[in-house]
Structure formats: structure tokens, C-alpha cells
A and B are shown apart, each in its own frame.
Chain A
């Protein structure tokens, strides 16, 4: 049986184009790209841009699923173009920019909303008490690390926002990745900033917009499982709420 991995395969790509300087609306453009069967979609796009149409705009960088740049809709599913393999697709492949984000140009989406939300949740260690150099480094056991490690794997690729229907319906929803990152820091034994983050994520546009569809976890390329983070935040916020209200009642 012949090994056809390096054979050339003519792949039809149906790509959503949008030029803000000339177009009123996005439109599809079809290309037939000679590809190697082992390629990923990103390879096909790069070959297209290098040889067929240099005007196609798209983001990419590492080509190895760690930078989060090349997120796009491939046959309607949010995927990293460097992770989607041509051998898994038959026939024409439809490529569009990430859903639920405005289109800047072609496959480049406007990520400003996500960036702003990321900032809001304070995704950095906030020490509980000030710490001097003499006290030395933080020590953390493997058990303490496991409490948040999964959620630290996020590469900010925004696929979860493209998959989340509630974000699509309610753009002010802070969203899966941002809330999962807040949870990642809340769970970190070195951190003391949980109260500050709760002010952002325990709000209506925070975790309470989530209805546990779970599509975010389905599409996450790094197995962060944001859906689980959000449910844990809901549980923690509920416990908080009862404790706060009970304590204020007790104090009266």
C-alpha cells in the first residue's frame, strides 16, 4: 500500500474575505490550493498567501498550539488553524474569522473586548500580605499546584468565546477564559486577591451569565476545561453570598 502522506492534494478552501476599505459586507472567495496531505490548515493558508493571493490577512505565529494566534472557524467549528489537519477534512473547507468577534479584515478579528476583560479580572498574583526579600520565595507543594495547574494552561486563543452561545447573545459577558483565569489565581496558594477578583466575576456579567452549555470546554485546544472553572466559581460565589449575608445578619 502506498504511503500517500507526501502526495499533493488539491484542497478547495472557501474563505470569508472582508476589506474594510472597499467592502460593505464580507463575502466568500474560493481557492484551490495544492497541499501536502500531512499539512494543517495553517500550512494551506500560508501556501495560498505565498503563492496564490498575497492579500489574504490572517494571524499566526508559533504553528504549534502554544501562542493562541491562529484561532478561526473551520467548517463552523472554532479551531486553531495549526491544529486542524487537512487529512481530517473532505471536500471544501470553509474558513471564517472567529465567531462573536467583529471582523477587522479577512480572518483577523478584533480582540479588544477580550483583552479588556482579561485586564478586569486581574490575572496576576496579588499577595495577601506584603512580603520582604528576606522571607524568601513562596513554597508550593505539588498538591497546591494541582489545584490550579489546569487553568494556567490557557493560551488566550479565544476559541471558547467563539463557541460560547451566551457570549454571542450577551457580549458584556466576561466569558470563559477570563473567568477561568481569575479562578486560576484564586486557587493559587500564593495569592491573596480573591476578594478583588470576586468583585468583577461574581457579578451579573461575570459568572452568572453562564448557563453551563459546556461548548467552551469542548473546543479548548489546551484542555483547560473552562466550564469546570466557571461552575466552581458559581459554587464558591454562592457559599460566599450565604456567608456574607449570614455574617452581616449575625452582627446586627
Chain B
């Protein structure tokens, strides 16, 4: 009786199409492309800010292009998906044990959401979005 194990092939480029779970993971991962490009946009803005008022205001004007608005909407959607997936799994990395019990995941994740909302509102207020 001979052994001849059969090695099952795994597609390197298409494995994630096989299960919705994997697709959601890849969606989470590709958020980095949008957030990365956005970070580079912020960097450009910083560069213009350091040059002159004229340069900076040209940057703000460039932001008003339709392609920029489209990018912002997409980036916001991906960034929110990143945030929610991050908050939901954060409790797994740092379990908080109190006596024999652990703080429930929902509490830790909920804490993240609360901080996010509070911080976002604060930043919007600081930026003057809610009027002077």
C-alpha cells in the first residue's frame, strides 16, 4: 500500500473570492490605499501651507475639482469601514481582566466608538464647523 498525498492548490491571486469572509478582509486591507493617498494629499497641503498663502489657496481650489470630491467620498467610506472594523477587533488584542471576569468585547469596542464620536465632534468644533 503506497502513500501518494495529493497537495491541494491554493490560488495566490484569487483565494479571497472564495468566501465572503475573505472579501470583507480584503476590503478592510485595501482601505490603506485610500487612506494612504489621503495622507499624501495632506502632506501636499502641508507643503503648500509652508510655501505661501497663494500656494495654499491654490491647493484649496484644487480640492474643489470633481475628481477630488469623488475621491473624498470614497476615502471617507473606506476610512469609516477601517475604523469600524478596527474598533470591533481591538478588544481581542488587549483583554482586560477584572477578577475572574473579562471586560466584554462590546464594552471595549463601545468605548472606542464613544471616543471616536467625542474626538470627532471636538475636532469639528475646533475647526470651526459649528460656526463661530
A and B touch in the complex (CB under 8 A): yes
Contacts A/B (CB < 8 Å), 24 sampled: A20-B4, A20-B5, A20-B6, A77-B19, A99-B10, A102-B5, A102-B7, A102-B8, A103-B5, A104-B3, A104-B5, A110-B5, A142-B100, A143-B100, A146-B101, A146-B102, A165-B22, A168-B10, A213-B25, A215-B25, A227-B92, A228-B92, A232-B92, A234-B93
Q: A-contacting residues of B (Cβ < 8 Å)?
A: 1-8, 10, 12, 15-16, 18-19, 21-22, 25, 29, 89, 92-95, 97, 99-102
Q: What is the number of contacts between chain A and chain B, taking CB atoms within 8 Å? A: 75
Give how many A residues have a beta carbon under 8 Å from the other chain's beta carbons: 34
Q: Would A213 and B6 count as touching, CB distance under 8 A?
A: no
Instruction: List, in ascending order, chain A residues with CB within 8 A of B102's CB.
Output: 146
Cα(A84)–Cα(B21), bound, Å: 19
Q: Of A18, A215, A231, which contacts B92 at CB under 8 A?
A: A231
Q: Would B97 and A143 count as touching, CB distance under 8 A?
A: yes
What residue in chain B is nearest A215 (Cβ atoms)?
A: B21
What residue in chain A is nearest B98 (Cβ atoms)?
A: A143
Measured CB to CB, the closest approach of chain B to A143, in angstroms, equals: 5
Instruction: List, in ascending order, chain B residues with CB within 8 A of A193's CB.
Output: none
Cα(A1)–Cα(B101), bound, Å: 44
Instruction: List, in ascending order, chain A residues with CB within 8 A of B5's CB.
Output: 20, 102-104, 110
**A188 CB-CB contact with B under 8 Å:** no
Q: Would B94 and A235 count as touching, CB distance under 8 A?
A: yes
